[in-house]
Amino acid sequence: MAEPPETPEPVQDVVETLRAFGVPEEAVQRAVERGDPEGAIFEAVLMPAIRERTVSASEIEHRGGLTVAETAEFMESVGLRPPGPDEPAFSPEEADVFVELGRLEEVWPPELRVQIGRVYGRQLARIAQASLQLFRIYVEPRLRTEKGDPGAGMRAVQDAFARLLPLADPLLISVHRRWIEHELAQAAVREAETYAGDRALPGAVEVAFLFCDLKDFTAYAHSEGDAAAVTAIDRFTETVVQERGGEFRMMKSLGDGVMLAYGDAPAAVSAGARIIKSMPAPPLPGVHASVHQGIAIAREGDFFGSAVNLAARLLGAADRDQLVATRPVVEGCADGFEWEHVGAREMRGVAEPVDVFRLRLEA
């Protein structure tokens, strides 16, 4: 039998340092096998949670929860390896979730479970990748430089990661809960608008909405990496803040985009044009924008209703470096803007086709 290859001396030095400040041997070996010995400082932080996974899919099924096959299907839908039937793969709290999902099958059937799993898995994978990559690109080198000594540097990195990681779960839960609240409010206002007909609802105001985002941002992030993607968002946000003007009533970040509210259409269109023109040329992604003016419901510092929905949907009709708008915007802008009618578009959530106009931007 061939002898296992010797660990290179620089790697061995790292391994000994990790062992010296108590990183579990299991974490060290897993990191060495991956070719990233210093990654053991992250493995060590994750080990306690991994050790809490004591419940198998068979036990979940025995308790009346999802079957072994259904649990495997769900894990595959979120992009993770499905565990073996008797493999201790879930914490007791996670197992309780799968038991309850099994009991709720008539309310939340398997096909919906898989669909939501695909959505969650895709988005959470991106969050996890970006979080760790940014920590290792920006935080880790600075801590190592500040400490000077390699061992002290690794200890500082591990301590920082151990303090930050527990913050992620409650933060994600709170953000998710608030977006659920927002979507429920949006649905309630749309329902109220339907029943109200021509009657004005409490809090109704006329607003011009400007939506801007980075065109083809997802493809850019995949090709250039998370660090470049974050840089692009930072540059975009800086541009919006510089060019939005003083007339805006509210600005809300939407990840790689923003929603701005204005009192009239000319202010919204002018701001959108300035933002598009001020973004740097490729390789950074460009901006596209949409503007719609209509009646919205003002609540708790935000706006709700069909006018917001239409403005957001309209953005899909704009290519890079383009601003598109609806007929009320064009009619409200009067002189000073040149428009090109590009046809009527069907839009989800809008009963009738919408006339779309493209702003002719000066070179």
Average pLDDT value for the chain = 85
| Mean pLDDT for the stretch of residues 310-322 | 90
Highest mean pLDDT among 92-101, 147-156, 307-316, 353-362: 92-101
CATH among 3.40.50.10150, 1.10.10.10, 3.30.70.1230, 3.40.50.300 for 200-359 = 3.30.70.1230
Residue 107 has pLDDT above 80, yes or no: yes
Q: How many CB atoms lie within 10 A of CB 22?
A: 9
What pLDDT score was predicted for residue 99? 96
pLDDT in tens, 61-81: 999 999 999 999 999 999 999
Region 99-121: mean pLDDT is: 92
Among 182-186, 192-196, 219-223, name the most confident range.
182-186
Q: Which pLDDT band, with edges at 50, 70 and 90, does 150 fall under? A: confident
Which DSSP string corresponds to 216-272? THHHHHHHH-HHHHHHHHHHHHHHHHHHS-TTEEEEEE-SSEEEEEESSHHHHHHHH
Confidence of residue 26 (pLDDT cuts 50, 70, 90): confident
pLDDT value of residue 138: 86
Q: For residue 22, name the pLDDT band (cuts at 50, 70, 90).
A: low
The residue behind tokens 């008797």 is 86
Residue 258, class by beta-carbon neighbours within 10 Å (0-12 exposed, 13-18 middle, 19+ buried)? buried
**Does residue 32 carry a pLDDT above 90?**
no
Q: What is the pLDDT of residue 280?
A: 74
Alpha-carbon span 73 to 110, nearest angstrom: 9
Given pLDDT bands bounded at 50, 70 and 90, which one contains residue 353?
A: confident
- The two beta strands, 257-262 and 354-359, are unpaired
Domain boundaries, the chain: 9-51, 200-359
- Can you give the C-alpha Rg of the chain in angstroms? 26
Q: Is the pTM of this model over 0.95?
A: no
Q: 61 near 99, Cβ under 8 Å? A: no
Of 337, 339, 336, the residue nearest 326 (C-alpha): 339
pLDDT of residue 1: 43
Helices marked H in the chain: 9-20, 25-33, 40-51, 57-62, 68-77, 92-103, 110-134, 140-147, 150-196, 217-224, 226-243, 265-278, 306-314, 327-333
